[in-house]
Amino acid sequence: MIIKSLDHLKSISNKIAEKVSNGDYIFLIGEIGVGKTTFTRNFINYLQKKKGVKQTEVLSPTFNLLYEYEIKNLKVMHYDLYRIKTSRELDELGIFNENVRSIKIIEWPELVKTKVKNRLEIYLSYSDRDNERKLSILGHHKWKDYNENKL
Ligand SMILES: Nc1ncnc2c1ncn2[C@@H]1O[C@H](COP(=O)(O)OP(=O)(O)O)[C@@H](O)[C@H]1O
Ligand SMILES: [Mg+2]
């Protein structure tokens, strides 16, 4: 489907945020500038607003690899794996240590080989127009029947 504008992206991320719970994984796949961080910022700010928590800045974790957000009963862990080059470095991040139940949003998840269960893969790409993007999704387990018609 086509994302027609930044507002349209917001409405899409809000709908996904409505369905999310701790234990979910959202994989954001697509090249630089397609909107992975913008999606995540909208998503986190929406949850903060919904839960009555102060909205915060949501910066790209390009250098820090991870930023965490405590939103009442939800915990969102926002990863950017762009700088991770080996599966050993990936292991050291401990993304799949399930002692902390949280929502994990992962930009650049290509190196991740673990087939985590409740996973929503979001594919973003450029479109002909500057403010448009293309989006497709592939859900697994809990997200299996989730598709673009729901957005
Ligand atoms: N429809 C759209 N969806 C997503 N981003 C858009 C859209 N239109 C314009 N943009 C702009 O594209 C840029 C996306 O950047 P960013 O979210 O940092 O990308 P990424 O994290 O994928 O590298 C932002 O400047 C955003 O304002
Ligand atoms: Mg980004």
Question: Could you list the mean pLDDT of each consecutive 10-residue stretch along the chain, which spans 151 residues?
Answer: 98 98 97 98 98 98 95 97 94 84 96 92 97 97 94 91
Q: What is the DSSP letter of 17?
A: H
* Ligand 2 center to 115 CA (angstroms): 22
Contact 116, 96 (CB under 8 A): yes
Residue 69: per-residue pLDDT: 98
Site to probe by mutation for ligand 1, drawn from 5, 31, 34 as the one with most ligand atoms within 8 Å of Cβ, is 34
Binding site membership of 34 for ligand 1 (Cβ less than 6 Å): yes
Residue 108: per-residue pLDDT: 97
Q: Which residues of 102-132 are buried (b: 16+ CB within 10 A; e: fewer)?
A: bbbbbbbbeebeeebebbbbbebeeeeeeee
Q: CA–CA separation, 107 vs 52, rounded Å?
A: 26
Residue 97: per-residue pLDDT: 82
Q: CA–CA separation, 92 vs 16, rounded Å?
A: 29
CA-wise closest residue to 39 among 146, 143, 144, 133: 133
Residue 98: per-residue pLDDT: 74
Residue 86: per-residue pLDDT: 95
Binding site membership of 147 for ligand 1 (Cβ less than 6 Å): no
Binding site membership of 44 for ligand 1 (Cβ less than 6 Å): no
Looking at all shown ligands, the one closest to residue 62's CA atom is 2
Q: CA–CA separation, 90 vs 81, rounded Å?
A: 8
| Residue whose CA lies nearest to ligand 1 atom number 9 | 131
